[in-house]
Amino acid sequence: MSKRIAAALAIAAVAALPAAALAPARAQALRIALEDDVGQLDPATSTAFLGRVVFASLCDKLIDVSLDLQYIPQLATKWEWSADKLALDMTLRQGVVFHDGEKLDAEAVKLNIERYKTAPFSLRKSELQPVKAVEVLEPYKVRLVLEQPYAPLLGVLSDRAGMMVSPRAAAEAGDKFALKPICAGPFRLIERVANDRIVLERFPQYWDAGAIRLDRISYLPIPDTTIRLFNLLSGNVEIVDRVAATDLDKLRADPRVKLLSATSIGYYNIVFNTGNGELAQKPFGKSAKLREAFELAIDRDTLNQVVFNGEFVPNNQPVLPDSPYYAKTRPMPKRDLARAKALVAEAGGGRVAVRMYAGPDSTIQRVAQVIQLMVADAGFDLTLDTVDGSTMVSNTSKGNYEAAFAIWSGRVDPDGNIGVWLSCNGFLNWGKYCDKTLDDLLTRARTVIDVKERAELYRQAAEIYLDFRPQLFLYHPKWFWGVTAKLEGFRPHPDGLIRPQGIKLTK
C-alpha cells in the first residue's frame, strides 16, 4: 500500500468514527479500537473472542484468571471440591448488585447456571454438561453437583458460563437478552450501534468501585491495522488491539505511545479433513504419511522470522511449551525436507494437490503464502482459497474442505485447547477425526484434578494425535496493544482481555 493510499484510508476512517469518538476524550473516557465487531453480547450465545473483551468490563464472572494463569476470586470469594470431587461448593461475594439493582445471591447463581444448561439458544450446554444440579446451601453459598469429576469446571466458570446476568432481565428478555445485557460488571451498556461502536459507562454500585478510575469506555471496530494505528497516533483512540508485527518498531520509537505485550495461550493451526465426507477420501486426508511430510516441509522458526519478526512462539502443540501439560517427549520438529520428500514417495509419489482455506486478513494471507512456498519444495501443490470466517466455519462443518487455517483464542484449562478440536464429538472437530483410545484419554483427563496425573494423560494423548496429525499446530501469537503514553494501569494478560480495573489516563 502506498503512503498516499494509506493516508487517504486513515482519513476516511477518522471521518467514519462517531462524533463522540472524535471529540477530545474526557479525562477518564477510554476509546479502544478493535479489529472487528464483537458479536452477541449475551454470554449464553456469544462466540466471538472480541465479545469476551467487552464482557471483561460488562459482566463479572464467578472466577477470574490472574496474570500467571491461576484461578482467582471474582464474584465467588472461595470454592472447594468435595472429597469425591463430585461437588463444588462456592461462597459468593456479598453486596453485589446487577445493573438493574437486583442482588447477586445463591439463587441468582442457580438460575444463571440453569439458564446456560437449558435455554434453547444457549451455547454453553456442552461446557456445563457434567453439572447435573445446582443446590442453594445458604443465601450466599451454592453447590454444583456433578455426574462425574470434571476438572475443566473452574476454567468454564472463569469464562462465559461463569458470567452472571440479572435473572429478572434474562427472564424478561429471553433470547433477546443480547440487545440489552444486564450484568454485574464495573460498567453498564448505554449504547450500541452495530459495526460502529459500543459505549459503556461506569456503574456506581460496582462491588469493587475503588478499582475503577474510568468513567466511560467506547469500543470501536476498525478492521484495518494501518487505520487502527493511525487513529492511535492521531489521538483518536487510546488503545488499539492486535498491532501488526511490522508496526512494532514504529510504536517502540514513538514517544506518544507505548507498546504492551503478552504471550497468548491461544494458537494458530491448520485443520485437516480426515473423516468428514468425500474430500476426506482424497490422498491427503487418508494418508498420515503425507500429513507428516507436509509438517516436515514447514520451518516454523523461519515462518516466525519472516512474518512476525521473530516475536511469536513457534510450537507443535496446543499448549505453551512452559505449560505442565506440554508433552516434552514430542518437541517441535525441525524442517526435514529430505524426509518429507521420502514420505511423499512412500505414499505414492508425484505432486500432491491440496486446497486450504485462509481468512482475508493480510497477515494470515502472508502466513499461508509462506507455507505454500515451503511445502512446494516437498512436492505439495497447495492452493489457497480466501474466505471469511463465517464461510469457513460453514464449509468446514459440512466437510467441504481439505485443509483450513484456523485460529483459537485459547483457554486456561488444557481441555479447552485440546478436547474441543480432537474429541470425537468436539464442537470444533470439523474433520470428524475420531480415535476411541484418544477419546478415552481425554475423557479420563477431564475427571482428574491432580496436575501431574492429568499431565501424563495428556502426554499419552499427544502421542496419538501428533502421529495422526488431524491438525497441525504452528505457533502461539503474542498479544500486542498500542496505547497512548498517557495510559496507566493496563496489565497485558495472556488471555488477551482488557480488564479495566486500575486503568486510568493522566493529563
- Both 343 and 425 in one domain: the answer is yes
Q: Which domain holds residue 194?
A: 3-37+189-264+481-505
Integer Cα distance of 108 and 114 in angstroms: 10
Q: Which helix (H) or strand (E) holds 270?
A: strand 267-272
- Both 257 and 274 in one domain: the answer is no
- Both 258 and 280 in one domain: the answer is no
Encode pLDDT of 329-388 as tens digits. Answer: 999 999 999 999 999 999 998 999 999 999 988 889 999 999 999 999 999 999 999 998
- Both 471 and 488 in one domain: the answer is no
pLDDT reported for residue 389: 82
In this structure, is residue 48 part of a structural domain? Answer: no
pLDDT reported for residue 138: 98
- Both 272 and 257 in one domain: the answer is no
In this structure, is residue 46 part of a structural domain? Answer: no
- Both 233 and 361 in one domain: the answer is no
What's the whole-model pTM score? 0.85
**Residue 147 is part of a domain; what is its CATH number?**
3.90.76.10
What is the CA angle 471-50-429, rounded to 5?
25
In this structure, is residue 446 part of a structural domain? Answer: yes
Given 171, 198, 229, the domain boundary residue is 171
Encode pLDDT of 393-451 as tens digits. Answer: 899 999 999 999 999 989 999 999 999 899 999 888 999 999 999 999 999 999 999 99
**Residue 12 is part of a domain; what is its CATH number?**
3.40.190.10
Contact present, 295 and 469 (Cβ < 8 Å): yes
First to last CA, the chain: 35
What is the CA angle 492-242-163, rounded to 5?
60
Paired residues of 197 in beta bridges: 193
- Both 365 and 431 in one domain: the answer is yes
- Both 90 and 67 in one domain: the answer is yes
Longest dimension (CA), the chain: 70
- Both 455 and 349 in one domain: the answer is yes
- Both 420 and 448 in one domain: the answer is yes
| Residue 223 pLDDT level (bands cut at 50, 70, 90) | confident
Q: How many domains does the chain have?
A: 3
- Both 369 and 330 in one domain: the answer is yes
Encode pLDDT of 78-104 as tens digits. Answer: 999 999 999 999 999 999 999 999 999
- Both 281 and 414 in one domain: the answer is yes
Q: How does DSSP assign 87-125, residue by residue?
A: EEEEEEPTT-B-TTSPBP-HHHHHHHHHHHHH-TT-S-T
Given 139, 171, 203, the domain boundary residue is 171
The Cβ of residue 208 has, within 10 Å, a number of other Cβ atoms equal to: 12
